[in-house]
A and B are shown apart, each in its own frame.
Chain A
Amino acid sequence: MTEFSPWLAEHLKVMSIWLGTFCTLGLFSILYRENKLYRFFEHLFLGISMGYLMGNVWTDTLRPKWWIPLWDKGEWWQAGVLIFGLFYYLIFFKKVSWIARLSIGFILGASSGLAFQGFVNDYWPQIPTSFKPLWPHQAIYDKTGLLVSKALSVPDAINNLIFMTILVCVMSYFFFSIEQNNRVLKRSAQAGRWMMMFTFGAIFGSTMMARIALLIDRLDFLVNDFGSHIGGQGVMFTLLLFLCGAVIFLAQRTDKE
């Protein structure tokens, strides 16, 4: 053990990089087709993430907030919190499973009670800022010289008009309380549909960056971090290209068969 510890400390980085590479390539194997290697790493991922979550719930929440007060400080009533939590597990016993609903109901109720604050803090500040000024004007100051309203240029006023029109149109699209027979409402809802397509385009474009950034991170790891351990970026890049070529070749051969 005494020899293992310094050895592990010395080789930790290299071992992490090799393990990481196997895991990355193992999961990338799904790009070829469904296979056993991918399933293996998928289960490894599931196990590791579950173990990590359980461990951290204990070390960061249950230990400091429940175990230490109960065991070290003698706060015996913390046992009640455990019992309340254990009521959830009655769900696994058919005869008394309904009692678990009392715990679940209590937490559901608490979440519902909190929803009012969430709604007010989240949406109320957005309501007044949805009513934007539409008439261009100079900056307005009060008698003491304090700025009351910022200057509004003509382009800004047009932008505000566009904003408010889109807001109303999209809201009218979701107006299901009455049948949309009215011509104005119908047209407005139709325009709202177009505006949502516009928005979905913007969201799609943004999403692309998020996903690409992740892949860059992984390929950076393979080519730069792992590459430096096997003779340089060029070697890993060539190896990657070889793997891609092999996958394409295998895929075409199986397609022909």
Chain B
Amino acid sequence: MQTRNVIRYLNRIDRRVLYTLLIIAITIPFFFTIQIRVPISRQTEQLYKVVEALPQNSFVLFGADWSASTRGENRAQSKALLIHLMRKKIHFIILCFDPQAKTLMQEMVTGMQKEYGYTDGVDWANFGYRTDQVNFLKGFGPDIPTTLSMDINGKRVQDLPVMRGIHTAHDITMLINVSGSTTTETYIDYLQGSYNLKMVAAVTSVMIPEMINRLDSGQLVGMMPGLQGAIEYEQKLGYIGKASAASVSASVAHLLIIALILLGNIYTLIEKRMSSSVRGRN
């Protein structure tokens, strides 16, 4: 009888109770500063090595294609990569095919530039949001200055010291794409493939299965896989950022989901057995 009551309760459990459990699972770890060292995945290790090996006079195209809808993962990834680039004093430009990324990246780099001695326009530049990625990249490859024309501050490409000597895609040392959508594929299709560019990507967890194939085929030379990749990269850099802080919360939330899946299946199994035994008696 007691088992039946438990089963009945589990069957009728309100969805808001599950939501509350999830909120508790995520927020409780905020009260503790636990740092768990994680093993570094092959993909993150490879990405770190590629960025580390960049020579000092390199020019990096930083494609930031994320928004608030994926910032849980992409923001930490972008910051980790920027820290690595800025520590190595590498010049970069930002290009966005998501309108929000323009402002988010501007805020992020402006907040960091003083610490690393970077100057807007000299060591980096933000070229903002552009429509129609495919056509834009077709024009961008053979003629970067004309296609970019001016940065988000309204300065012409010709007046930006960071753009000196940059004419075509052949002048780009590496392409980094932090993305929460299909822009990584479009970069591969219309820029990386045509100019044989060295390209790395930081992608959301949903995109990992797809992007692993690009890594295997050599289209990508490094990849940061989701939030876990960001945690690993922060660990490699030796700093505690948003990703590391979210590590335990993500763990507890995952464990809760696993427990709920198991619980849901166990009570269904018991319920089925009970109903079949009742049918057997009848």
Contact = CB atoms under 8 A, between A and B. Distances in A.
Nearest to A249: B16
A223 B23 CA distance: 11
A244 B23 contact: yes
B14 interface: yes
B279 to A, nearest CB: 30
Interface centre among B17, B128, B188, B217 (most CB of A within 10 A): B217
Overall SS of chain A's interface: helix
A12 interface: no
B71 A125 contact: no
Contact of A125 (B24, B129, B218): B218
Question: What's the interface size class on A, roughly?
Answer: 35 or more
Question: What's the interface size class on B, roughly?
Answer: 35 or more
A125 B185 CA distance: 13
A216 B253 contact: yes
Contact of A224 (B30, B189, B228): B30
A117 interface: yes
Interface in A66-89: 68
Contact of B17 (A217, A240, A248): A248
A16 B246 CA distance: 22
B131 A223 contact: no
Interface in A108-131: 110-111, 114, 117-118, 120-122, 125-126, 129
A153 interface: no
Contacts, number: 165
B254 A61 contact: no
Nearest to B136: A61
A212 interface: yes
B166 interface: no
Given A216-B246, A241-B24, 12 more contacts: A56-B102, A57-B129, A60-B152, A110-B135, A117-B189, A120-B193, A121-B193, A206-B206, A206-B208, A212-B72, A212-B254, A248-B20
20 contacts: A31-B19, A59-B128, A59-B152, A60-B129, A65-B149, A68-B149, A111-B134, A118-B190, A121-B188, A121-B194, A122-B219, A125-B217, A199-B209, A212-B254, A213-B250, A216-B26, A216-B246, A217-B71, A219-B27, A248-B16
